[in-house]
Structure 1
Amino acid sequence: MSTASLPANAGVTPGPQHVAIIMDGNGRWAKARGLPRVAGHRRGADAVRRVIRGAAELGIPVLTLFAFSTENWARPVAEVSDLMGLLRHYLRSELDELARNGARLRVIGDRTRLAPDIVRDIVDAEAKTRSNTRIDVNICINYGARDEILSATRSLARKAAAGEIKADEIDEAMFERELQTAGVPDPDLLIRTSGEQRISNFLLWQCAYAELVFVDTLWPDFDKSHLEQAVTEFRRRERRYGGVGS
C-alpha cells in the first residue's frame, strides 16, 4: 500500500473512532444457569443498553453491534421467534434511553425478510433518533458481509451494463458507496465476546484494517469496564496499515 492511500490516522492510535462488537455468548450464559436460551438473549439486551451508555460516556463516536446474522435464521424456529420478539420490544421501548445517551440509531442489513411491523418500527426509531448527535449506534440485523459484497458487486455490474459507469472507473470509494454501511467510517476496533476468535461474516470489507480484540466475557456480562479494557488494549497498539513501524 502506498503512503498516499494510507488512512489519515496511520501510525497514530488516539481513538477508537468506531468500535464494532460481535455480541456472542447469550446461549452459553443461559445454559450455565440452567435457563432457556431466550433468558440469555434478554440479558444480552440489557448489555446492549449498558454498552451504548458506556460508549457514549467514553466519547466513542460510532458503535456497531452485530445482533442477528443472515445465518441465524437456521436456528430453531422458537429461538428466532423469541429474538424477533425481543427486537420488537427493543425498538419500541428504548427510544427514551437512546435519547438520553444522544444516540442516533441506524439499522444495517437486509430488511426484506423481516416482518412488516418490525420494518415499520425500524423506520420509526431511525426517524425519531435522527437529530441525536452524541453517538451513532448501528445495529446489524439480518446482515451478512458476503451477501453485502455480492449485492454491491451486482449493483455495480448492472450500472456498468447500462452504461452508467465504466468498469475501469470502479474503485474502492465507488464500491463502498454500494455497501449497506455507506457513509459509516470503517471500524478501527472489532471486539468479540465469549472467547471465540472468529469474525463470522461480519463487516469483512470494512474491517480490513481493524484491530481485533477477543475477550472471554460472555455478552450478557459485558459492560463499560470491559469496553474500557478493550479500548486500552487498542491504544497500546501501533497501527501500521502494512507499513514499517518506527
Structure 2
Amino acid sequence: MAAMILSRHKLSREAASMPDAGGHSALPRHVAIIMDGNGRWAKARRLPRIAGHRAGAEAVRRTLRAASKLGIDCITLYAFSSENWKRPEQEIADLTGLMKQFIRAELDEIHRGNIRLRIIGDHRAFEPEAAAMVDAAVEKTAGNTGATLVVALNYGSQDELTRVMRSLAERVRSGDLDPQAITPDIIAAELDTADLPPLDLLIRTSGEQRLSNFLLWQAAYAELYFTETLWPDFDEAALAAAVASYAERDRRFGGL
C-alpha cells in the first residue's frame, strides 16, 4: 500500500514546482509538522513514555529523508513548546537526552546532505550542555546551501509575537519607527522565521485539530492537514499523502 501511495503521489521536483493556473506550486516549499502522539503510541503498547519519544525520533529521521526525496526546501518541526516545561522533570530530562543523542547521531549526515539547521524559540533555556550542542550544530551547518531544517525548541507563537511587539514598541519610543509605518511585512521581518520561506503546509499528527501555539502568524494562509497517524508511525508514505492533499488545494489567499 505504501508503495502504491508513493508511486501515485510522488512528483519530481521539477514537475511539482511548476505553478498551477493560480500561480501556485503543487509542491509546498515550506512544511511544518506538529509531531503529536508519542505518549499515546507508547501507552497503546504498554510502554513507558520515553519509548514513544524514542520511536518519535526515528520518525524524525524517516521524515527528513522523505522530505529530501520529495524536494521540500524547508521543514519545521515542533520539538519542544514553551508549555512543555509543565511536564514532569523526568520527562523533560528524557527529552533533553534524546535531543543530545539525536545531534550526536545525525549531525554529520545532516551536514553531508548540505542541510542548514535553524532554531526558533529560546533553546538556551535548556541545560548548558544541550544548549551548547545546539549552538555548535547550528554553527557547523550555517554555510550549507541546500534544504533548511528548522527545529522549534522552547518555542511558543504567543511568546514570539509578544517579543516582536515589545521590539517594535521600543523602536517607536526611540523615534526610530513611525507607528503608522508598521505593516504586516514589518512584523514578519521581526519574527523568528524572518529568513525562511512562507509557510505553505502545516501537518499535525495523532488526530488532534488545533495549532497549539505553533506558528500562529505564519499559518495565516497555510494549508492545514490533520492525520490520525500517531507521530511514531509517520513515514514516507504519510508525508507523500499530505503533500498530495496540498497539491489538490485551491490556494486563493483571500482572492477569488
**Which is worse superposed, 130-139 or 147-156?**
130-139
CA contact (8 A) 2:78 2:151 kept: yes
Equivalent residue, structure 2, for 1:228: 240
Partner Cα distance (1:92, 1:236) in 2: 39
Partner Cα distance (2:213, 2:142) in 1: 28
The alignment partner of 1:94 has SS state of helix
Percent identity reads: 52
Equivalent residue, structure 2, for 1:17: 29
Q: TM-score, normalised by structure 2?
A: 0.89
- Pick from 102, 111, 119 the counterpart of residue 99 of structure 1: 111
CA contact (8 A) 2:125 2:131 kept: no
Partner Cα distance (1:168, 1:44) in 2: 46
Equivalent residue, structure 1, for 2:92: 80
Partner Cα distance (1:13, 1:237) in 2: 11
Q: Which amino acid aligns with 2:192?
A: Q
Match runs of 1:182-221 below 5 Å: 182-221=194-233
Say how many residue pairs are matched: 237
Partner Cα distance (1:193, 1:97) in 2: 26
Q: Which runs of 5+ in 2 are unaligned?
A: 1-18
Q: Which amino acid aligns with 2:189?
A: R
Partner Cα distance (2:109, 2:227) in 1: 26
Partner Cα distance (1:107, 1:199) in 2: 19
In the alignment, structure 1 residue 30 sits paired with structure 2 residue 42: yes
| Per-residue deviation, residues 135-159 of structure 1 (Å, max 9, x unmatched) | 1000001000000001100010011
In the alignment, structure 1 residue 141 sits paired with structure 2 residue 153: yes
| Per-residue deviation, residues 199-229 of structure 1 (Å, max 9, x unmatched) | 1100000010000010111101101110000
* CA RMSD across the alignment: 1.5
**1:11 shift after superposition:** 5.2
The alignment partner of 1:213 has SS state of strand
The alignment partner of 1:66 has SS state of strand
Q: Which runs of 5+ in 1 are unaligned?
A: 1-7
Partner Cα distance (2:235, 2:145) in 1: 22
Partner Cα distance (2:173, 2:39) in 1: 46
Runs of 4+ in structure 1 over 6 Å off: none
Partner Cα distance (2:104, 2:174) in 1: 42
In the alignment, structure 1 residue 159 sits paired with structure 2 residue 171: yes
Q: Which amino acid aligns with 1:108?
A: I
The alignment partner of 2:116 has SS state of strand
| Per-residue deviation, residues 21-63 of structure 1 (Å, max 9, x unmatched) | 0000000000011110011001101111110111011000000
CA contact (8 A) 2:33 2:204 kept: yes
Partner Cα distance (2:26, 2:155) in 1: 29
In the alignment, structure 1 residue 120 sits paired with structure 2 residue 132: yes
Partner Cα distance (2:87, 2:63) in 1: 26
Q: TM-score, normalised by structure 1?
A: 0.92
| Per-residue deviation, residues 69-119 of structure 1 (Å, max 9, x unmatched) | 001000111111101111111122211221343321111111342222222
**Which is worse superposed, 144-153 or 96-105?**
96-105
Equivalent residue, structure 2, for 1:5: none
CA contact (8 A) 1:17 1:61 kept: yes
| Per-residue deviation, residues 181-215 of structure 1 (Å, max 9, x unmatched) | 11112210000001111111000000100000101
